[in-house]
Amino acid sequence: MALNWLTEGEEPRGYLVFIDVPGVQEYISAARKAGDFLAGSWIISMAVWLTAWRFAKEFGPDVLLRPTARLNPYFYLFVAGEFGLDEEPFREALNRIGVSITALRDAIAHPLVGEGIQLVLPPFRFEGGVAKTWGRDEVEQEVKHAFVKALDCINKFIRGEDDECGLRRAIGAGRAEGEGQQQGLIKCLADLAAVRLPVRVAVLDVGEEYERFRNEMGEWIKKVGEACREEGLGYCDGAEYPLFFDWLLRPGVGAMKRVVEQGRRRIPTPGPWFKPSNYNDVVPEDSLGRKYVDALGQAGWRACTLCGREPAVVIMRKERGQGGKEVFARADYDELLRQCGLPGLPEGNVQRIIRPGEHLGPNCLAKRLLYLRLRDLGLVGFESTEDVSFRWYSNIGNRLVDMMQGKAPPECGRVFRYLTEENKDLQQVWATANPVEDMRREWAKCMNSVKDNLAKLNDLLSPLLGGYPLKRRDVVELHGPRLFYAIVRGTGTALAIC
């Protein structure tokens, strides 16, 4: 780190840069499906990393104070991809600390990088092989430009396009760029989706901070120099540098207060959603000039039903269909198929992305599409909250189906189908006006029809419970259904108070 600021034996010069994404919790919590939480976290993590990677690639990994390059799978993956290196040494390094992976891309399925960056930049950069100095304002603009480029790369990744950040090259593109109606729908909606995030940047001039440090800590610097010479430690002219670096990064002192002051000068926003000339004129447009998928075509706009902070670009109202089931309003569904050029597309294909009654803005739509691409790449293994919640029951269900040898009672038809389906969605299996109650009733009938075979069920469930002996009632109750579950969301910033 120090070598970036200490050049040619001069006093410390360079820039300490703080970058963070405000409003992270609001962005991630704007979610309805389990995949929304993961996609929101992954977008934040990748946007931060791609911004940091731009400077690590130009100046080297030593400029990364946070996130560190050491034992960082993101760094290893992008270095291997950028320079065509073998992944094996990097995998071995991670395996030694307990991160067991078969490929580096598997590690970045998890949003490991936090919302903040700290960079230690030198006072110059190379342009055409010549070192040229740059000022604080230039550094700030370059950082903001890097963040915008990072978001652009994520948007291109969602659309299945090549990007200058190397994201697609590093982890692949997935099937979402292929042919077929489902892929055509994803491509059509991706033109309306857009990842937009605010960014806050504070730049400290290290030379100026060093002067302040000498003025404030003059007596301490003098004592450090005297102690160095008394101990006969040799070269002592720079003995105060470690003290300076500690002072510079210590919370609550002058340098950190100036970072806070810079952050208060403006309120970062994701960018304008409306043109200044007309509050009804929404800025986002796709390549065809579309702004909405809205069958009514009325003037004005509607808020996104997930976040409530951006105008919806895909509006899919709901109505009651056959049997009282919630379906898309026919006018909205037909308009979507017309704009995407996908006549006859089954409604179930659309419901993988949008639920009836949802109005999605560009950011929230981008989360849904990004999640599908990560799933197509094999980086995530679930599609809904139910997938996660019922994974334990799915293991039991598959064994129960095998045990019945295809002779399941009629009462168990939909129950077994639900347990053995890869993507769990009770509203698809019980397509009725009240799917939850119908599921509960049929589940009870199914369990009553198979509970007489207690010995087999006991053998089936007991290993999963550490050999605990089960009674008849235990078997039925443990086998579900569980219609309530919790999503635990946390942040690593408050671990110190635990």
- pLDDT grade for 303, boundaries at 50, 70 and 90: confident
Is residue 176's pLDDT more than 50?
no
User: 474 or 347: whose pLDDT is higher?
Assistant: 347
| pLDDT of res. 9 | 64
Domains in the chain (CATH in brackets) are 2-202 (3.30.70), 203-263 (no CATH), 292-376 (no CATH), 385-478 (no CATH)
Structural contact between residues 330 and 294, judged by C-beta atoms closer than 8 angstroms: no
Spatial contact of 399 and 392, defined as CB atoms under 8 Å apart: no
Q: Does position 299 have pLDDT exceeding 70, yes or no?
A: no
User: By the 8 A CB rule, do 366 and 192 touch?
Assistant: no
Among 198-207, 249-258, 456-465, the range scoring the smallest mean pLDDT is 456-465
Lowest average pLDDT, out of 83-92, 176-185, 192-201, 351-360, goes to: 176-185
Query: Range with the lowest mean pLDDT among 123-137, 342-356, 444-458?
Result: 444-458
Is the distance from CB of 292 to CB of 313 less than 8 angstroms?
Answer: yes
Q: Alpha-carbon distance 313 to 68, whole Å?
A: 38
pLDDT at 16: 92
CB 118, CB 8: distance < 8 Å? no
Per-range mean pLDDT, top range of 99-103, 173-177, 189-193: 189-193
Q: Which of 243-252, 272-281, 303-312, 363-372 shows the lowest mean pLDDT across its residues?
A: 272-281
Residue 178: per-residue pLDDT: 45
Q: Other CB atoms closer than 10 Å to residue 235's CB: what's the count?
A: 7
The three-state secondary structure class of 472 is helix
CA–CA gap between residue 246 and residue 15 (Å, rounded) = 15
Tell me if the pTM is above 0.85.
no
Number of C-beta neighbours around residue 385 at 10 A: 18
pLDDT score recorded for residue 198:
92
- Would you tell me the crossing angle of helices 413-420 and 391-404 to the nearest 10 degrees? 130
Say whether 256 sits in a helix, a strand or coil. Answer: helix
Torsion angles phi and psi, residue 246, rounded to 5: -65, -45
Lowest model confidence (mean pLDDT) among 131-135, 178-182, 341-345? 178-182
pLDDT digits (tens, 9 = 90+) for 330-350: 999 999 999 888 888 888 888
> Distance between CA 166 and CA 61 in Å, rounded?
17
Is the per-residue pLDDT at 42 higher than 90?
yes
Task: Give me the phi and psi of 224, to 5 degrees please.
Answer: -65, -40
pLDDT reported for residue 177? 44
pLDDT above 60 for 495: no
Peptide bond between residue 67 and the one before it cis (omega within 30 degrees of 0): yes
Q: Tell me: the pLDDT tens digits for 21-40?
A: 988 888 888 888 778 888 99
Q: What is the pLDDT of residues 277-286, one digit of tens each?
A: 655 666 666 5
What percent of the chain is modeled with pLDDT above 90?
20
What is the structure's pLDDT at 422? 66
Confidence of residue 104 (pLDDT cuts 50, 70, 90): confident
Mean pLDDT of 268-287: 65
Question: If pLDDT is split at 50, 70 and 90, which confidence band does 369 have?
Answer: very high
What pLDDT digit, counting tens, does each position of 376-417 carry?
887 776 656 555 656 656 666 666 666 666 666 777 888 877
Q: Given this model, what pLDDT does residue 220 score? A: 76
Least confident of 205-214, 223-232, 266-275: 266-275
Token pair, residue 75, equals 């760094």
User: Which of 383, 358, 388, 392 shows the shortest CA–CA distance to 460?
Assistant: 392
pLDDT tens-digit readout, 426-455: 777 887 777 778 888 888 788 777 666 555
Mean pLDDT in residue range 227-233: 75
Evaluate whether 119 touches 17 at the Cβ level (below 8 Å): yes
Strands (E) in 199-348, as ranges, are 200-205, 274-275, 278-282, 314-315, 318-320, 326-328
Q: Which residue has the higher pLDDT, 34 or 126?
A: 126
Per-residue confidence (pLDDT) for residue 373, from 0 to 100? 86
pLDDT, residue 496, reads: 40
